[in-house]
Amino acid sequence: MELHAQPTRDSDSYMDKNTLIGIIVINILFVFVPFYVNAKTVTGVGEYEFGADITENQSCTSAKIKAEADAIERAFGSTVGAIDWEVCDNNTCDFNSLSWSDSFGQVTEVLSESKVLLENPRRCRVTLTAEVKAVKTISPTFDIDIKLNRSTYKSEDEMTIGLKPSEPMFIAVFNWSQGYDVAMIKLMKINKDTTLPQGDVRWLVRSEQDTTSKEIIFVIATKHKIGFLANYPTDKFKKLVQQLMISGNVVRKISYTVTP
């Protein structure tokens, strides 16, 4: 699926020329903000099933994500918010779907790791010992709520996104879909409740698949303008988001279904 704008995307949706400025802003934040507190060494355990749709190695990779999230939660409790979050494009959550681990803690070093294959059901169990640190919240009042106009779309349906910021902020809106990079569709500053797109622009959902799929809208809220790229490979986008969250920015995501 691709999300298309009509008649055109706004010229400020792509900010390649500001990429260097954005990198400098992020680096300054990393230098001057003491992000981590309360370092602990803990053990975490994670399991993930595998079979016809998921290989053993893929299962163990997902199990490690769960183990790291478990280590963070064991260290700081459920308030840290370690979550294994997935979007699946079939009932078995195959590995081609996006696996995303969100937390307000960070595994800074894996000290030891072991894996065991189990039966009934077939699954990989990863046990690791890691150094984890909680991420300091810079501004607990800095937040944004997002809402789509529907949860399921057909091809050519129009999408709108409702944004409710807690204060003035810069927002970058990205779209992820299976088989495509993460694409930015809007970058702007908002001061109040806003519905996107604005003006005579329409966002149309278009699917080239014959099966139902899951897609995601990401909204990144920052206090300062950051020059994002127009497109990111999924892995690089995940790392970027983690860096931005560590520096006190807010990332919100919402999934939706696309039917043929």
What local confidence, expressed as pLDDT, does residue 76 receive? 76
Lookup: tokens for 35: 């992000």
Topology of 2-32+138-259 in CATH?
Immunoglobulin-like (2.60.40)
- Counts of helices then strands in the chain (DSSP H, E): 3, 17
Delimit the domains of the chain by residue range: 2-32+138-259, 36-135
Q: For residue range 101-113, what is the model confidence (pLDDT) as tens digits?
A: 555 677 888 999 9
Residue corresponding to tokens 């975490």: 44
Cβ contacts of 187 within 8 Å, gap of 6 or more? 12, 13, 14, 15, 170, 171, 172, 173, 228
**pTM for this structure?**
0.65
**What percent of the chain stands above pLDDT 90?**
37
Q: For residue range 201-225, what is the model confidence (pLDDT) as tens digits?
A: 999 988 777 778 888 999 999 999 9
- Give the separation between CA 215 and CA 179, rounded to whole angstroms: 11
- Averaged pLDDT for residues 28-33: 39
Q: Please check whether residue 157 is in contact with residue 65, taking contact to mean a CB–CB distance below 8 angstroms.
A: no
- Give the separation between CA 54 and CA 90, rounded to whole angstroms: 12
